[in-house]
Structure 1
């Protein structure tokens, strides 16, 4: 996953790249945010880990801005869907607020998944995302798989890309969802 190289392929350079992370509780959105932010040579880890923790309890939106390869990148972390104490509709209200932090609008929705099974829970989550932002949001969506060390055997890590593609093809619903995300 390299957003900067994706941007460089386009003939028109954006003054700012705005990314919104969406996924269920514990999928790895905050960890992915930290990984993106660390791509900036100027990014400084916060003094307090509670500022941007790698945990499954993001309750409110969190926005960070860094420069990567002369490109301003805004990353917005959102609360997780499939929350045990809140309804998905309550969480989506906060997610909608989060999207406003990427004003005038996100260039990309990163839908963060931590498994290859397209469960009913994930199907419902995706339907809620499309219902909230419109089916057109799929044009700006990318699927990111996290937790590869937990998803794959140690022997598979060297061939992770091939294996992930194979696992997507094995599950027709997951394959359809990934292909919807242009």
Structure 2
């Protein structure tokens, strides 16, 4: 399906890409709006997305759309990045599926967080992203804030610059300052403008990386297993990830290393004694 969202510059750039398919991987903690953001990018309701007390997305899933320059594939992920993932995915099967579905590697990672609710959980999820893919993934990451409507017409860049949440400022800086905001309930015209802004960031990032996707030793392994069955490929990739299991404790933090969670919240609506996250 054709899309009017791609600028002429992106069309010209896309024709020079080594691959005709761009892969975008959604990451972050549960509840931030990853699936809804994926649906906004795809311009249709493809991923299951609803308000719920527990995580809605249980397994990795992909969706794609046609752009003037080729295809864009979006990979939605469940909670693969929190410290609790070791209990939820002890055999590394789902993390292995994430690798296989995004092989030979994502062109960009979209780290989704909620505007005004950047907490210690978000930071732990970010460390989980780096534990799974390697620290170099920061150079491929764009921070996507959901609940853009809460800016009330204000500037996202000014919001990030002026926030008292130092951890949030440092995260955006670590990702090269690349960030944008989505209102996933916006009308069609506004939603298209949001996607156009995001794709502009993706265009710039991919150009800076020479058009090549992100890779590491696990992605390179996955590329060598093309002739094997799906089950055998998953087993081999999961084994490789399990060999690096010593990295996963780094995704968590001892309680003494954190300030109270209210100090990490952007909303400033709660004091230390009344924050509902305590």
TM-score when normalising by structure 2: 0.51
Over 3 Å counting, the alpha-carbon distance change for 1:81 and 1:160 in structure 2 is farther
Runs of 5+ in structure 1 lacking a partner? 39-44
Query: 1:13-45 deviations in whole A, cap 9, x for unaligned?
Result: 34111000011111111101111111xxxxxx5
Q: 2:25 aligns with which of 20, 31, 39?
A: 20
- Distance, in Å, in 2 between the alignment partners of 1:105 and 1:181 is 18
Aligned 1:63-78 pairs, distance under 5 A: 63-78=62-77
User: Deviation at 1:120?
Assistant: 2.1
Partner residue of 2:84?
87
Partner residue of 2:101?
101
User: Deviation at 1:107?
Assistant: 0.4
Q: Indicate the structure with greater strand content.
A: 1
- Distance, in Å, in 2 between the alignment partners of 1:82 and 1:76 is 15
User: Deviation at 1:115?
Assistant: 3.5
User: Deviation at 1:100?
Assistant: 2.0
Aligned 1:139-178 pairs, distance under 5 A: 139-149=139-149, 152=150, 156-167=151-162, 169-178=163-172
Runs of 5+ in structure 2 lacking a partner? 177-278
SS of the residue 2:131 aligns to: helix
Over 3 Å counting, the alpha-carbon distance change for 1:141 and 1:77 in structure 2 is same
Aligned 1:53-72 pairs, distance under 5 A: 53-55=48-50, 56-72=55-71
Over 3 Å counting, the alpha-carbon distance change for 1:96 and 1:157 in structure 2 is farther
Over 3 Å counting, the alpha-carbon distance change for 1:132 and 1:81 in structure 2 is closer
- Distance, in Å, in 2 between the alignment partners of 1:115 and 1:82 is 19
Partner residue of 1:42?
none
The answer to whether structure 1 residue 36 and structure 2 residue 41 are counterparts is: yes
Over 3 Å counting, the alpha-carbon distance change for 1:160 and 1:54 in structure 2 is farther
Over 3 Å counting, the alpha-carbon distance change for 1:62 and 1:96 in structure 2 is same
Higher Rg? 2
SS of the residue 1:106 aligns to: coil
| Aligned residue pairs, count | 162
Query: 1:89-118 deviations in whole A, cap 9, x for unaligned?
Result: 335942442232121110011000014454
CA RMSD of aligned residues (A): 2.9
Aligned 1:43-54 pairs, distance under 5 A: 45=44, 52-54=47-49
SS of the residue 2:23 aligns to: strand
- Distance, in Å, in 1 between the alignment partners of 2:21 and 2:113 is 25
TM-score when normalising by structure 1: 0.74
